[in-house]
Structure 1
Amino acid sequence: MAGKIDKLSDNDIDKIANLLDDRLALLATKEFVREEIGGVRSEMKTLENNLKTYIDEGIETVMEGIDNLSKQLAEKERVDKIAKWAKEVGEKVGVRIDI
């Protein structure tokens, strides 16, 4: 066993690397990439659905707020008209009304 060496030469390592590169390249360029693309697509779809949900909820909240504000404004205008009418009536009958 005089010819046996326990070390790999650079040439041996290059040969092994070339063999592995050829075999791994097929995996990396096909199945691995397909799986990664599928995962990214799935994640993007989930994010898109979440974003749509958040936007829809946000729009509903804003619209409810606008409706409530509109109702409050209409009520305030009604109260202001009644107060103005009460003051005018009070002036005509000689009673001062502070509202």
Structure 2
Amino acid sequence: DKETSTSIFERESASPTEIGNLVAIPHPMVNNTAISSISVLVLDKPIIWVDHHVQVIFLISIAKNEFYLWEPIFLKLFKYLVKENGIKKIINQPNYDDFIKNFQNEFN
């Protein structure tokens, strides 16, 4: 909704969500959505987000009643994408089925 969208930009203004290794994980500060979702955008070429290059963007929206999942999801994403360099797999083979398989393996 509009409030969530506005909140994402407010969050980004307060502190950019680029986390290094070509990844940004924007998210709202206020979220009244009933359904959790993660949207993924893989760019053909990196862009400057604020201070760092970003090529893959994970927009995370966690439902209010599932907010307890925010930190575990973020930490697993960070581990896979940055520490284990899973971002390279996504960039080099931006195939939806492969991405979902790798993503599910990481979270199971």
Larger radius of gyration: 1
More strand by share: 2
Same fold (TM over 0.5): no
Give the TM-score normalised by the residue count of structure 2: 0.21
**Structure showing greater relative contact order (alpha-carbon pairs closer than 8 Å, 6 or more residues apart):** 2
More helix by share: 1
